[in-house]
Structures are given as structure tokens and as C-alpha cells.
Amino acid sequence: MIAETLAGIALVKSSVEFIKGHIDTAKDIGEIAGAIDGLFRGHDEAQQARNKKSNATGLGAQFGVDTVAKEIIDAKLAAEQLAETARLVDFRFGHGTWASILAERQKRIQEQREIEAAAKKEAIKKHNEMMELVQGLAISFVVLLVLITGAVVAWKALA
């Protein structure tokens, strides 16, 4: 868990350093888009690591003062880096650019969630249809078996 947090914070820091170094020479937002993606990814990783309940480390390690303090400080550092990047982007490309980036990102995340939910619903529907087919085939097999058994019994009775 701590390694995940460190990886997330490292990605945030390297992304912000890249943005700071290239924001003044960037002709458009696309030139620093990869670093912004890294910033979001690193921030998300740090948040996920902070929120994850790890049984591997044990309860003592998970709730230790050093672990809690590190998680809170890392989250605040990531938030500071995001705020600083927002100011840099808005200053370079105009007020509201960062808000537009956040809104578009949230829209795309929501669209992806909807696509995944629809795919999951479709998979469940196909599974249910398959189970109905299997059930129908099983019932047909039993009926056929009963008919054949009845025919054999009737044939033996006649013979």
C-alpha cells in the first residue's frame, strides 16, 4: 500500500515538474496533455492507495500514526500539485481552461462507466439466456427419456 502511494506521488511530482518546465513554451495544451494525464493518474493512485484497506500489512501497520500521517500528507501534497497545475494552465491558456479539462475528464469517466455497466448488463442477459436454453434442453432431454422409456415399456408389454 505504501509503495502504491509512493508511486502515485512520484508520478504527480514528475508530471508537475514536466508541466512547469514546458508550460511557457507550449503552443497548445496537447503538448503537455500526457503530463496532465500522468498527474491525474498519480493523484488517483495516491487516493486509491490511501482508501485501500490492506490485510497484508495488518491492522497495527494500517492504523499506525506514521502510516496515517503519511497518507494524509501525501494526499494534501497531491492536492497542492493539482491546484498549482490548475493555476499554471489557466494562466497560460486562459481562465477556465483547467475547469474545462476537469469537466471533460469527468464526462469521459462517466461515459466509460456507462459503457462498462451496459456491457456488464449485456453479459448478464446473455448468461441468463444461455441458462434458459440449457434448462430447456435439459427438460427436453428428460421428456424424451420418459417417452422412450414409456415406449420401451409399452413395446415389452405388447411382446
Residue 150 is assigned to a structural domain of this protein? no
Distance (Å, whole) CA 8 – CA 47 = 8
Q: Please check whether residue 75 lies inside any domain of the structure.
A: yes
As a whole number, mean pLDDT of residues 95-106 equals 95
Residue 88 within a domain: yes
pTM of the model: 0.64
Provide the residue range defining the domain that includes 57.
Answer: 2-95
Domain assignment present for 125: no
Count CB-CB contacts under 10 A for residue 64: 13
Q: Is 153 within the bounds of a domain? A: no
Is residue 43 situated within a structural domain? yes
Q: What is the DSSP letter of 31?
A: G
Distance of alpha carbon 51 from its chain centroid, rounded? 14
Domain count, the chain: 1
Give me the mean pLDDT over the 25-36 stretch.
87
- Asked if the structure places residue 6 within a domain, the reply is yes
Contact 31, 22 (CB under 8 A): yes
Q: Average pLDDT for residues 127-133, to the nearest whole number?
A: 97
Domain presence at residue 16: yes
